[in-house]
Homo-oligomer: A and B are copies of this chain.
Amino acid sequence: MSAALAGRTAEVLLSPKNEDEVVRIAAACAKHRVPLVARGGGTGNFGQAVPLAGGAVVEMLGLDRIVWQKPGAVRAQAGIRLGFLDQELQKNGREMRMHPSTRKLATLGGFVGGGHAGVGTVNWGILRDRGNVLGLKIISIEETPRVLELRGDDVNLVHHAYGVNGLVTEVELPLAPAYEWLDAFERAAEFGMALATQDGILKKLVSVHAWPIPGFFKPLEKFLPTGKAAALLMIGAETREAFEALVGDFSGTVSYCVPEAGLYEYTWGHTTMHALRADRSLTYLVCIFPREDTLGAIKRVHSRLGAEAFLHLEFKRFNGYMTAEGVPLFHYQGFEQMTRLYRAFEAEGVRIANAHTFLLQNGGMKDLDAAQIDFKRAVDPHLLMNPGKVAGLDDLPGGLSGAALEAAQLPASGWAY
């Protein structure tokens, strides 16, 4: 993907301070047919926010207000940093149901526009599940822009659509109760699944890492025994004794347990970041293990492919059942190796998303049906928003070639966001 994105930059950076300015930007871009890409914290790693066709980058960080807050829900502007938002919510005993591992930098609009799940998904499922995003306000890209409020199922028109269909200015989210979260290490996928399916134990993160991945986490070096798998967890302080009883069942030891210390910054997408810091030759797959015999599939994949592809798992609720997402890391050798690994994972019932393309459809995660395309055309009739990301609709002149084309054509069994 890097090949295809090289040298793609914007011609102008726009930083609106409020919704009126966003409306003026939308009108001006439509009038002068200037392509535009919304940008939040810049933490996405699927190339979502790279301006393929030049034009304007609209940096949303100026829209950083909480609009209102109730015990069960919050509405805030799209540019608010998630870390700040969660801090404000926690003052009232609430927090976001889920956040990405990039909580400090990522914005609300960016998370909803380009993310899919995160810390908290072990309890609440993923962002696209009904009830996890309550409402969105967007501005259409027309000479007279419309301000639209999407609610109910309609929020998924815009969720994970890479900002190709409207500038999101406000997001309304349901909240979860805030607990005092403890961070701890342990080992093994069996333990992870056992913990993830203990309904009575409070947990926000269940993440398991095969060696050598824990070796990439330099700041945690003194806590993580060399050569051993590690579990990175967030456990509610109230149910700590129940958690320790489960650890005892597995003859495990807790090597590190402290009030929230940001351990989540070694999980989900952050794991890849730490691995790349340690070794630039690494790359990854994004996969989800099957609902039936989840542990069996994990063990088979690890036993057959573990020496080449290093597993780490984040346990997640998915369609009402507990399963695990995995982002195995391996040393990049080229298209053939990647295709071979994709096929080997799929043979064990694992579904794969293609994280090596910026094309929305080719990721394998977003079902771009007629309603989605219609909506895109309605709010962005001149096809100015984040152009080049929707294959078949707004392909850029010249198209893809070489490694970028290969990357876009990697297989993807995927799963729908």
Contact = CB atoms under 8 A, between A and B. Distances in A.
B320 A239 contact: no
A198 B129 contact: yes
A123 B71 CA distance: 19
B130 A239 contact: yes
- Number of copies of this kind of chain in the complex: 2
Given A72-B238, A241-B151, A245-B152, A131 B174 contact: no
A57 to B, nearest CB: 32
A240 to B, nearest CB: 9
A347 B156 CA distance: 43
A97 to B, nearest CB: 8
Contacts of A180: 72
A177 interface: yes
Interface string A194-238: 001111111000000000000000000000000000000000111
Nearest to A318: B199
A246 to B, nearest CB: 6
A109 interface: no
A387 interface: no
A197 B93 contact: no
Nearest to A194: B320
B317 A174 contact: no
A197 B152 contact: no
Contact of A134 (B153, B177, B239, B317): B239
A289 to B, nearest CB: 15
Contacts of A237: 72
Nearest to A174: B238
Interface in A259-306: none
A72 B123 CA distance: 17
Contacts of A153: 245
B245 A202 contact: no
Contacts of A176: 177
Contacts of A152: 241-242, 244-245
Contacts of A130: 198, 200-201, 239, 242-243, 245-246
Interface string A318-360: 0111100000000000000000000000000000000000000
A327 to B, nearest CB: 21
B197 A320 contact: yes
A417 to B, nearest CB: 13
A74 to B, nearest CB: 10
A131 B72 CA distance: 24
Contacts of A66: none
22 contacts: A72-B179, A72-B180, A72-B236, A73-B238, A97-B200, A125-B199, A125-B200, A126-B199, A129-B200, A130-B246, A131-B200, A131-B202, A131-B239, A131-B243, A132-B200, A134-B239, A152-B245, A153-B245, A174-B236, A196-B320, A197-B321, A199-B317
